[in-house]
Structure 1
Amino acid sequence: MKETPILKTPRLLLRPFEKKDLFDVYEWTSSWEVTRYLWWYPNRDIHVTEKLLGNWIRKKRNYSWAVEKEGEVLGEVQIIKDLPGNGFELGMISKQKSWGHGYMKEAILHALDFCFTQAGYRFGYAESDERNVRSHALLEKLGFKKAGRKENVPIEKKGESINVLCFELSEEDFRKAYALYKLHFR
């Protein structure tokens, strides 16, 4: 079990989830547009989101940050699982209204900095639906490189399969992306 630390960025607070986050989390878990390229259906009932959030709080998954700006949770940055060789898999999701403002890039860069400098990880990995070009662009801005493709991956959505792009991140490539980001926020 890992305790998610509180991280501060120039504009955001990254912190563990709390019960008070329910309505913010429901805003993105219930959105067809936000979940369009994800492997699960949007939540149609806030009680489903309430149960999900309760599990996140109780079970203390790998690192999972609520991305907060001025009291509102805009999204989540998550280390989904540990990988052999001191690696991790990254997950992310955010409210549609926060898209295009650089919040997730900022949040993820700080989370990745923690992963490489304090948590002892040596590399990162991420997967994304091949159609999700916004996600691919963000991953590449973070220093991730395309590393492969999986075809016809079955997903929870009934009768659907997708092609998945795989991305890898070395600590060296992350450091380059982080240095560019820090120049922007001088």
Structure 2
Amino acid sequence: MQQYNIIKTKRLILRKFNKDDTKALFTLLSDNEVNTFLPMFPLNSIDEAEEYLNNIINSKDLTYAICLKSNNIPIGYIKLSHDESHDLGYAVRKEYWNQGITTEAAAALIKYLKTLDLPYITATHDIKNPGSGEVMKKVGMKYKYSYEEQWQPKNIKVIFRMYQFDINNNKGYVYKKYWDKYPVHFIEEI
């Protein structure tokens, strides 16, 4: 899936991560508050950040560094998984929360994804993280269902809301893998 184009918005540059981004990635992923809703534990060292960065660079996922145009240093990331879920994920340093950065990055990425041969993208958020759900709504994603998962590696019970964005007139299709996989699933009035 890795078909990187540099994406520019009014305030941002979305670009491929490179070896010089280790410190910025460590700043983001070592923050306990930022990490609360990420599917990993906070990073503890620059060495861990370097290993994580190597995994990003070598992954089949499409992962962009979210950078301010003013300095081109990553303040976050946005990614799309290469598997059948085409799952959208993101994180931004907390000093940039509530400024529309993630929404701006997600909207720009979706615009780019419309040029690729993808039928849809999905995204999930913990119900305790409604701000993430607001990003999904603002970029045109539609709520489909909720499910309960024993989330690993953190080993906590989480109720996720699953959203979907149909790219290529895929109307009517709902990605049901999580619905089918987890016995506790339901549709909320949102």
TM-score range, shorter chain: 0.7 to 0.9
Identity value in percent: 23
> What residue is the counterpart of 1:140 in the other structure?
137
Number of matched pairs: 167
* 1:63-114 deviation digits (Å, cap 9, x = unpaired): 211111122211111011342xxx6211111111111111111111111011
What TM-score comes out, normalization by structure 2 length? 0.81
> What residue is the counterpart of 1:14 in the other structure?
14
> Unpaired segments of 5 or more residues in structure 2?
170-190
> Partners of 2:168 and 2:134 in 1: how far apart?
19
> Partners of 1:82 and 1:119 in 2: how far apart?
15
> What residue is the counterpart of 1:93 in the other structure?
91
> Unpaired segments of 5 or more residues in structure 1?
174-186
Report whether the alignment pairs 1:170 with 2:170: no
> What residue is the counterpart of 2:52 in the other structure?
52
How far the C-alpha of 1:60 sits from its partner, in A, is 4.2
Higher helix share: 1
> What residue is the counterpart of 2:177 in the other structure?
none
Superposed structure 1 runs of 4+ greater than 6 Å apart: none
CA RMSD of aligned residues (A): 1.8
* 1:24-46 deviation digits (Å, cap 9, x = unpaired): 11111101100112222111122
> Partners of 1:94 and 1:88 in 2: how far apart?
20
> What residue is the counterpart of 2:182 in the other structure?
none
* 1:102-150 deviation digits (Å, cap 9, x = unpaired): 111111111101101x212221101111211110111111111111111
SS in structure 2 at match of 1:81: coil
> Partners of 2:151 and 2:79 in 1: how far apart?
22
How far the C-alpha of 1:9 sits from its partner, in A, is 1.0
> Partners of 1:7 and 1:145 in 2: how far apart?
24
Alpha-carbon contact 2:61-2:81 (below 8 Å) kept: yes
Q: 1:101 to 1:154 in 2, by over 3 A?
A: closer
SS in structure 1 at match of 2:159: strand
> Partners of 1:154 and 1:101 in 2: how far apart?
29
Q: 1:152 to 1:122 in 2, by over 3 A?
A: closer
> What residue is the counterpart of 2:176 in the other structure?
none
What TM-score comes out, normalization by structure 1 length? 0.83
> What residue is the counterpart of 2:188 in the other structure?
none
